[in-house]
Chain A
């Protein structure tokens, strides 16, 4: 009864137009960004780094070499596939192109000449598929070049074959996984949309909801409504829970508004999802539920932490400065995971990232694509334990003098110690 009315009051008190308008503006900005991202791929001029294994001594094979030598940086030119992969990985190249020995013969005999491509993907960031787009263009050029040659000379080949004399078979190497028959554009489109979305949503959600709860504490102290609340026949636990749940409700509403913006943003990435599902990379319902749970755990952890911090706030204004630690903790994992994966981090950084509860939805998203359930479930448990500990502290603070006396006692104590 009173818990319900506390939650209701929290929502009413805090879900104001001032709170919602900025959220909507940012959501719209993201929607616009989605359009912008679509166009970025065409822009780059730099030559892609590739390895070439040309086993075909024929006329068409030579043309392939010529076109590639002109338009790409060939960092390995030989016959050893493993060596080529090693070098491309080391040099940060994008792909290994292999022209089989029967390439020319096949084309001359009405059989599609296959180019085998091994894509080395280093990450799933937004920019990671750009080199592959350029290589795609080169392969188009190769196809055109061979086609032109065939047309120029007299032949009795199938006209369709003359127009499309080449084909490709591709494999992606990513995170020790071989993914066959998918182009990097498709993969990174899907993965980057997801791996960009989850960290940003996490960050926004934590910052929003944390801000709400800290402001609420500041306002309650400023107006002394908290003092009144604490003399009512209601359990401290109910007050704490009411605050956390109230802020969670608002946070979820706000996140919902963001997701609408994001839905639009993500449409620009959603190509070939079916393909990914076939490769076992797309997330299933259970996976999404786990990500959701992880996000919820992180939200709860953020709220509980914010509540503890909010108890230090004296008024609405000072409350804002106590939001800073929460903001920092939400931003750091977002940026770190943009550049690195858990596996490639130094141990200390990995420990720090695992300790920050807001990392776990990000980790969950990535781990689930590669079926690392242990890390995900462990992370979820951790966020809930973290929340529990924070709520325990919050209740203890709510039962102590400090909530009423504020920092004053401590400050005085410290001042006295310093001046003595």
Chain B
């Protein structure tokens, strides 16, 4: 185990756990709760990452009056220097790109996917899957964002913190906080009249329409929020790695997120997080395996992809509801039922009491 850094492993796992949990919660919102099978999740993750990378690099360079091309060596060197000079700049750019990623990915998700819903539920999946691939191929050839090289030298929000450990710990905490916000929001809307409405759309869209609900509008809002969340995950990813390439956004990422949602349990947010925890742990472990045993016959990355496939198949065949089962939507109105039951129990007790007395 020489040279294996356990703390580093845990911190890196925490970051990936947060990023993928946000992705699986967002997929669960669109697919698990609302029934729109989103096979293009990775596209909105990529949009968040590229927005963050591009905007933060541009900001740092242009603010300092440097006009190096975005993917040049000069730019990367300059970014390395500039990013440790002014903590307040790092943090404000971080906040700007965080909010920006949410809005950017959210708006594009809304604009692309809402019309795509018209092709029907089966083709919707294929349409958004294709969109993701088209986006990736576009990014591979679009010079202003570095084409195949991608974006390098993305200024880490905590680059100015001395010491790798503090920097990584700080970033893990930021990631976990964003996951907490995402989870609390998702959990609250799940157990609200909105959550009920989403499940109604999932169960029978036509009937929902006949109950006066503006189904396309509701779906549009969900797509905006879900894509926005994926954008936030992309933002974290870009900062964490410091560089992004188009090939990091293969369709396989989408399937990994699907596997997390299915494994943990469709239609519930805790399940999405559990699935993300398990699969990112496997993922990080195979990465560690790679590091510890560089001469393995099988590339651990292949093991990882095989595992994802096996998990999807096994879960769908043997435990389609996943590890955690979906629950009803719990809202205050359920108390009205308990009040009745409570009253009945009381009346029953009284009756028994009277019968005993009579004896």
Are A and B associated in one complex?
no
